[in-house]
Amino acid sequence: MSLAPGVLSVTVEFAKDIKNRAWIGRQDPYCILRVGNQTFRTRTAVDGGRNPVWDETFEFNVENENDLEIDIMDDEVGRDEPLGSTSCTLAQVRLAGTDRMELPVISRHHEHQHGIVGVSLRWTPTGPSRGMAGYGYIEPGTVVGGAAYSGMVQAPPLPPYGVDPLQVVEVVQEGEYPHHHHHHHHHHQQGSVEEVVVIERTEEGW
């Protein structure tokens, strides 16, 4: 089952007690953020030392990626030095819409934790993409046979191209039909029977 696409907003707040690689003065850390093949870089926290603050927000256009990776680097003349890295899953923010975490920063060389990085996440669904249309993806809140699809169960597969079992698809806000029960619809096409079973969440649970 493909994950729904959306916009992931990531705010890199700060890091605390990260590794210190500077021999003289204070190190100048920055972060590299990656989701899939998209990459962003924060500004350099000049003289940020072991407790830099960034408070920068970046937006990723996410299809079915489900992980955020962060590398913390020291901005140096010549080659920048890695200070540590971390990663997190997007499962919680996809479910709840927002999430905030203090992630352990792990040294690449010794696999030991050196401090934390604080991040805030926000998820905004963008609906089905062209790549998913026709492959069983139904936008949550869409009326399928008279009941709102909750988005919590896998959509029934659509029949082959050229056959449309649902002539009327109306988008509504989820929750406008709280008292609907399960609906079974039979569509007779080309001598075959397509059955669409819609499962929805009620106030009493499943």
Tell me if 6 sits within 8 A of 125, measured CB to CB: yes
- Residue 105 · residue 83 · CB < 8 Å: yes
Encode pLDDT of 141-187 as tens digits.
555 555 554 544 455 555 555 545 454 445 445 544 445 445 555 54
The mean-pLDDT minimum among 14-23, 129-138, 197-206 falls in 129-138
Pick the CATH number of 6-125 from 1.10.10.10, 3.90.226.30, 2.60.40.150, 2.40.50.140: 2.60.40.150
Question: Mean pLDDT lowest for which of 53-67, 109-123, 181-195?
Answer: 181-195
Model's pTM, two decimal places? 0.62
CA distance 114 to 105: 5
Closest among 59, 22, 24 to 39, alpha carbons compared: 59
Domain boundaries along the sequence of the chain: 6-125, 129-206
Please determine, for residue 101, whether its predicted confidence score (pLDDT) is greater than 90.
yes
SS3 content of the chain, % helix, strand, coil (to 5): 5, 45, 50
Mean pLDDT of 29-33: 98
Q: What is the pLDDT of residue 149?
A: 46
Neighbours of 104 (CB within 10 A): 14
